[in-house]
Homo-oligomer: A and B are copies of this chain.
Amino acid sequence: MKDTAILLIHCPDQQGILASVTQFLNKNNGNIIYLDQNVDRAESIFFMRVEWELDQFAIPREKISDYFETLIAKKFNIRFTLHFSDERPRMAIFVSKMSHCLFDILSRHLSGEWIVDIPLIISNHSDLEPVAKRFGIEFFCFAKDSKTKEEQEVKEIALLKDKKIDLIVLGRYMQVLSDNFVSNFPNEIINIHHSFLPAFAGAKPYHAAHERGVKIIGATSHYVTADLDAGPIIAQDVVRISHVDSIESLVRKGRDLEKIVLSEAVYKHLQRKILVFNNRTIIFN
C-alpha cells in the first residue's frame, strides 16, 4: 500500500469543478485510486472525496494544500480538508459502566481492523478499569456531579489536548458534555444513542420505545454538537421487536445494534469518508 493523500471538498455547484480537480491531480502525476462525488441539486452544492498516490505526485505533501488553494479552490470557492493515509488518528474512549461498546472498539483495535492509536480511556466510574487494564490502555476516572462537572471537564480537556487526541468516542458515556467541552472538538466527538433518532432522544429510550409499543428499535451514531442528540447523524440501524419483548429484552437486542453502529461510524471517520455540511453528513462510498 502506497501512501496517499485524501481531499474532502465542497463548494457551490458549477461547471468544470470535477474536470479541474481531476486534471490538477492528473497533470501532477497523482494516480487517483478513489473518487466519489455527488451534487445536492436542491441546495446546489458539490461534494467530493478524492484519494491519490503520493509517490509520483509532483507536488510535495507539505505544499499540496497551498497549491490546491491557489490553483483550484479559490476559483470555485471550494472549502476542503486534506488528509494523508499515514497520519494515525489518536482516539480517546469515554465510557461509564456498560462494556459492550468498549470491548467492541478495543477488539477491533487490537486485531488490527482499525489503524488508530488509543492512548487512553476516560470514565466517570471505575467499573471498567479492569477492561482497560486487560487491553493495556491507560484509564482515567473523572467522577462528576453537578458541582464538579465543570472543573472535571477542564481537566479532561487538558488531558485530551496533552495526549493530542483528535477523535473522542463516547461508548455509552452516560454524561452530557458541556457546550464548552464540545466546542473544543468540533466534529471530533462521536456518540452512540440507543434509539432511532430523532425518536426517543434523551434518557431511557428503551423504556420509551416499550411504552410507545414500536415494532422496531434502533441505534444512532452521530457527531456531538451543543444540542443534545441533535448532531449530524453518521449511521443508524434497526432491529425488529414484538409485543413479547420486555424492556430487558430491548436492552439486550439494543446492545448489539449499539456497538455495531458506533463502530461503523468510527470506521467511516477513520477512513476520512465523512463530510459534515449543514448538520448533515455526506458518507462517501
Interface positions of A (Cβ within 8 A of B)? 15-16, 18-19, 22-23, 26, 31-42, 47, 99-100, 103-104, 107, 110-111, 113, 131, 134-135, 196-200, 212-216, 218, 232-238, 240, 242-244, 246-247, 252, 255-256, 260, 263-264, 279-283, 285
- Distance of A215 Cα from B220 Cα, bound (Å): 9
| Given A15-B26, A26-B16, also A111-B103 (CB < 8 A) | yes
Distance to closest chain B CB from A190 (angstroms): 14
The DSSP consensus for interface residues of chain A is mixed
Number of copies: 4
Q: What chain B residues lie within 8 Å of A31 (beta carbons)? A: 15
Cα–Cα, bound, A232→B242 (Å): 13
The answer to whether B197 and A38 touch across the interface, beta carbons within 8 angstroms, is no
Asked whether, in the complex, the Cβ of A38 is within 8 Å of the Cβ of B244, the reply is yes
A115 to chain B, nearest CB (A): 13
Q: Give A142 Cβ to nearest chain B Cβ, in Å.
A: 22
- Kindly state the separation between the CA atoms of A247 and B242 in the bound complex, as whole angstroms: 22
Q: In the complex, which of the residues B38, B111, B238, B260 contacts A243, with contact meaning CB atoms closer than 8 Å?
A: B38
Contact B15 A19 (CB under 8 A): no
Shortest distance from the beta carbon of A13 to any chain B beta carbon, whole Å: 9
Contact A197 B216 (CB under 8 A): no
* A99-B111, A199-B197, A260-B260 given; A238·B216 CB < 8 A: yes
